[in-house]
Structure 1
Amino acid sequence: MIAFSQQGSGPALILIHGFCESKEMWKTFVEQLSNNYTVYCPDLPGFGDSPLLENEISLETAAVLLQEWMEENNIHNPIVIGHSLGGYITLALAELLGHGLKAIGLFHSTAFPDDEEKKQTRNKTIGFIKKYGVDKFVESFVPPLFSDQHRSEQADQITELIQAGKKSSQNGLIAFTAAMRDRKDRFELWKNFQGPKLMIAGELDLAVKIDGSRRHQPYASHYHELIGTGHMGMFEEPERTLGIIQDFLKDVEIK
């Protein structure tokens, strides 16, 4: 079962949260975007209010579950934007549905697979979660997602995200950490996807390095770098990132 929120009317827009997040992270954006779009925010299995009944999952399986959820809710030809893990799943969904997506966006995400160093980090994450549990992991995981200069001013938001992240299930965190570690290279898909493509990158993002993001730029119809920003541009630069998405959506509708 996929829990989700739905607000507004108009063309379908799906916003997919990242790792250790939930649909509520998009609430400020939804308030604005729902004026012109039907905005859907699903909880991925194992996060928020969506259970993960198995102990393993792949990005491809997650994409199939979202495809079935779209069919159940009569969501057709949507624009899909994903944050981090949500971006990986957006690409898996684009691979599955092809022209069935009107446009895609990667928000602090990448089409590249993990390198060996990152895979080892994922393995350490799995070990930490198994040893110390969800709460301790979330408390250590969330703050470094913000750049140093934004961390203190966003203290209340970080606390809220930590509390939301603690709703994540242990098996969901472990399963999706492994799924991210083992994900395939989808850079060719990024290059060849025929619809409009948005990328929002953070200059100081420790999770998705800026050098890798810049390699996506020649194939993006809309590419934006957030100077002085980490992995959480929707909170670190809320007005700018909302404006970027609104401009992207307007251009998608023109096309």
Structure 2
Amino acid sequence: MNSGYDLSSSTYSPDGRIFQVEYANKAVENSGTAIGLRVKDGVVLALEKLVHSKLLVPGTNRRIQTVDRHIGIATAGLLADGRHLASRAFDESLNYRETYRSEPPLSAIAERLGLYVQAYTLYSSVRPFGISAILGAVDKDGPALYVVEPSGIYYGYNGAAVGKGRQLAKTELEKLKLSELTTREAVFEAARIMHLVHDDSKDKEFELELSWIGAETNGLHLPVPKDLFEEADKKGRDALDADMED
């Protein structure tokens, strides 16, 4: 049906589609779910990292990374592409600091990443990135959350979800009054949603990753402390068990 129009990301089909970009979106859909919550005093990022082998060391190959002191990134899709984009985000943030001698706002980093990702949809010698990235920060304008798609398009969100369980996660996010939640409350909601969306795909075990930025971290992007993480993880499992009993 594609008749060769999917052989290059620089070729349009007769109905105006770029199949290589659509295939990149499919790569994201085959990955674990990632969500971001922009609440009244900060941002929480959560990710479902599927464990493909019992031989892997727990806690390695993290998919939530820090690209600046106040900016975190969570990626769903191909792991290597996510690492590359996180590295690019770090370089763009460093370039902004060197150029303007100030802390980069997340909107500027999202715009630069969007342009970079979009450039990889223009030439036949490269392929689109097989990832969607959620960027979270607390900058001079307050909490901010952006999503960069494989096409290069980027949007600002109050709550965002990408990956395999994105539809169910979005439904749960829409039920929350995000503007009234604190980051600590959002951590528990994020853990609950992660366990809920994984229930639909029991084929693999998963590791939960949680990070936050806000008043409790002095504006820094940091992993959620171990005691809070374990409490949120346990409550997420308990909430899922209670739903299954009902």
Normalised by the size of structure 2, how large is the TM-score? 0.30
Whose helix proportion is higher, 1 or 2?
A: 1
- Higher-Rg member (1/2): 2
Normalised by the size of structure 1, how large is the TM-score? 0.29
More relative contact order, 1 or 2 (CA 8 Å, 6+ apart): 2
